[in-house]
Amino acid sequence: MPSPVIRLATTADVPILAAIERAAATLFPESDLPAALREQVTPIEDLQCAQRERRLWVAIADDGATAGFALASVQGQNAYLDEMDVHPAHARRGIGRALVDTVADNARRQGLQSLNLTTFGHLPWNAPFYARLGFRRLGDADLCPELAAALAREAQLGLRQRIAMRLVL
């Protein structure tokens, strides 16, 4: 299977990312992602800002379709994978791995210490996927203020079984 093409997003890519995010949300059971949250997507203004700041990547499938995207941020000496979605029609083709690898490589080039994220701890395409990429689950004592705040926000939204993970770079 050929490797997906991962590139920095262009302004033309930004408007189609919400559809990918919504499609990916359909994979989650309603007990994990309540119906009220299924239509919520990353605000287009946030994606536009990330695109301008070169911290938004897209995956292009063999057929030329935009198959997924990754949105990252930096706080201090750490990178954060804020959002990563692959359209279900393109799942299990290495696209998620390629997106995460690209974000991690970019963070390494910037001299950052780690790549952090929050995810569902019990779904096979979440925490176990990231563990296979070298991320480790963090306990409460290991949480930086940004991850603790992210988990608290997610809990307020009604998301359950969320955990934080870190890849040391």
DSSP codes of every residue in 83-148: EEEE-GGG-SSSHHHHHHHHHHHHHHHTT-SEEEEEEESS-TTSHHHHHHTT-EEPPGGG--HHHH
- φ, ψ at 92 (rounded to 5°): 60, 40
The 8-class DSSP code of residue 3 comes to P
* Lowest pLDDT segment from 4-13, 23-32, 51-60, 142-151: 23-32
Give the pLDDT band (50/70/90) at residue 43: very high
Give the pLDDT band (50/70/90) at residue 75: very high
Whether 45 has a pLDDT exceeding 70, the answer reads yes
Helix, strand, or coil here: 7?
strand
Look up the CATH number of the domain holding residue 50.
3.40.630.30
Instruction: Calculate what percentage of the chain has a pLDDT beyond 70.
Output: 99
Give me the chain's average pLDDT, please.
Answer: 94
**Residue range of the domain that includes 159:** 5-168
Average pLDDT of the residues in 106-120: 97
Whether 113 has a pLDDT exceeding 70, the answer reads yes
Q: Closest Cα partner for 66 from 87, 47, 80, 43?
A: 87
pLDDT digits (tens, 9 = 90+) for 88-107: 999 989 999 999 999 999 99
Distance in angstroms (rounded) separating the CA atoms of residues 141 and 14: 37
Beta pairing partners, 115 = 79, 167
Distance in angstroms (rounded) separating the CA atoms of residues 68 and 23: 10
What pLDDT score was predicted for residue 1? Answer: 61
Number of domains composing the chain: 1
Average pLDDT of the residues in 141-168: 94
What pLDDT score was predicted for residue 65? Answer: 93
Q: Under the phi-then-psi rule, with left for phi > 0, alpha for psi from -120 to 50, and beta for the rest, what region is 50?
A: alpha
Model pTM score: 0.94
Tokens of 20: 């990918």
Q: Closest Cα partner for 167 from 120, 105, 125?
A: 105
Whether 160 has a pLDDT exceeding 90, the answer reads no
Distance in angstroms (rounded) separating the CA atoms of residues 59 and 94: 10
